[in-house]
Structure 1
Amino acid sequence: MNRPTRAVTAALASLAATVLLQAMCSVASARPIQVTLRDGGIEPREIDVTQGTTVDIVVRNDGTQIHNFVVPDFYVFTQNLHPGETVRVSFVPDKTGKFRYYSDRDGIPEAGMQGTMKVASQPGTAG
């Protein structure tokens, strides 16, 4: 292999390693959002996400009653969670704005168990 070919090969290998490292760091830093359900409360009360990006949420029922997690604008409806149970949900928001999430009983949000999800526009777009 001649010198220019070796230089190009080395540069491409370096670039590939950099891209791979960035991808690995990006995946490692994308932690799920933790949502905790308690009798009469939900934490956090506000979640900020980005349109078009996968939202990964781990929901845990730390209450003494059965609760669930609902984001109706994005068709997210978990099963009823018994005390101590956990479920993981993922979805991709396709619109921007502020959207309610809550735990419901018979289709009615439970008192105090509501929050707001703020969906920002994709980077580089207006909205």
Structure 2
Amino acid sequence: MLGYYGYAEFGRDGAGSLFFPLVWLGLALVAGPLFGVAGRWWRRGRDARRRVAGLGAFAGLWGMEGLLYAVDLHHIPEAYTCLALFVLIPLLMARDHKERALAMGAAVAFALIAYAAVVVPLHMVGA
């Protein structure tokens, strides 16, 4: 992020507003620890619910990105890539068929929640 906005500021005549760098920094400070916990739950969780939630959170991230690219940005190739990851992550990383189905359901829920929590507020502030 620092490199991207640094290049935009110094290499392309200014990045403009500090709004988006601060938004992405805030999201990183929240998402980093959350995905750290989700990864630990998926990898080392003894409880099936935690494994499903951890895997669903990771896949749901790609579902939210796919929605963002398809609905808001109209970048269809990127949307297909993200949505493919959204589907493949639970299919390839879950331990059994039941966990695959539950992780896919959790991923759908997490994708919709993340879209509502991140993208919708950005639209409301006019960004």
Shorter-chain TM-score bucket reads under 0.3
Larger fraction in strand: 1
Structure number with bigger Rg = 1
Task: Return the TM-score normalized by structure 1.
Answer: 0.28
Larger fraction in helix: 2
The structure with higher relative contact order (CA 8 Å, sep 6+) is 1
Task: Return the TM-score normalized by structure 2.
Answer: 0.28
